[in-house]
Amino acid sequence: MKNSSRFFTIGLVTAWYSSNIGVLLLNKYLLSNYGFKYPIFLTMCHMTACSLLSYVAIAWMKMVPMQTIRSRVQFMKISALSLVFCASVVSGNISLRFLPVSFNQAIGATTPFFTAVFAYLMTLKREAWLTYVTLIPVVTGVIIASGGEPSFHLFGFLMCIGATAARALKSVLQGILLSSEGEKLNSMNLLLYMAPIAVVFLLPATLFMEENVVGITLALARDDIKIVWYLLFNSALAYFVNLTNFLVTKHTSALTLQVLGNAKGAVAVVVSILIFRNPVSVTGMLGYSLTVFGVILYSEAKKRSK
């Protein structure tokens, strides 16, 4: 029984890594290498798939009990989270048009810094001084990596910083807005309600900012049907990122999840360099390594302060 449980957990972690890194690499390929330059439409495809597959998983397959929205206030809170979530995903996808995955992941590793800043600004919650000290190598590493990045692009860098900040803001807002017992939702149910609201936000943005994207996609499909399969597979993979993250969280400890999360970014960097052959410098890799080291120290400091 113990062996089967271990193999099951290893399988879950492998699926989590594969879906995370897979959707990241496929996004990069579509937006940069393939030339499908429509990050808002791509995000809308992701959210549409998350809406449909979340409903199938919860309402039909009964993977988790369905939790209902209990009030208009709770709905407004979920809508606010959905808007921030949209900003994070769209900004992240835009950044992939201009930045290599390795540098994108280096910037993304600074999430703890933004989380600490937003937590302090919005809740006045102070961490132990040692926790703040560990954020110094997190930020310093990205500054070093930026200086040594051969493919540095200012707009892509700003979009990636925005995506990272929005991701941190969502986690802090979620803790504030859905803190009461009556309003708490597990991540599967939260995605069930957030995803369709995100589609509503993204549809007008797509029509206004990416004019005739549906017509262009259909024209592309007539020349190369693979684009349809890329979009379908990529969208389904975006849902499985959330599903496997929920399952790994459920079947492992918080500490294990932190360690796996830190390692995942490093694996994504190595795989992306091997696939896309983007140039990397020694300075850039040293900067990224310093950031990851800082994140590990931050996780350890947080654990000790509790």
Give domain limits for the chain.
2-305
| 38: its two tokens | 């429509």
How far apart are alpha carbons 43 and 24 in whole angstroms?
12
Question: Residue 253 pLDDT more than 70?
Answer: no
Give the model's pLDDT for residue 1: 57
Let me know: does 289 contact 141? Beta carbons within 8 Å. Answer: yes
Give the model's pLDDT for residue 78: 95
Instruction: Give the pLDDT confidence of 147-181 residue by residue, as tens digits.
Output: 888 989 999 999 999 999 999 999 999 988 888 87
Cα 306 to Cα 166, 221, 234, 293, 303, distances in angstroms: 25, 54, 39, 21, 6
pLDDT-derived band at 302 (thresholds 50, 70, 90) equals confident
pLDDT, greater one: 127 or 135:
135
Q: Which percentage of the chain shows pLDDT scores above 90?
A: 64
pLDDT-derived band at 265 (thresholds 50, 70, 90) equals confident
* Average pLDDT score over the chain: 90
Q: What count of residues does the chain have?
A: 306
| 240: its two tokens | 């499985």
Instruction: Give the pLDDT confidence of 192-239 residue by residue, as tens digits.
Output: 999 999 999 999 999 999 989 999 999 999 999 999 999 999 999 999
Question: Residue 25 pLDDT more than 90?
Answer: yes
Give the model's pLDDT for residue 258: 67
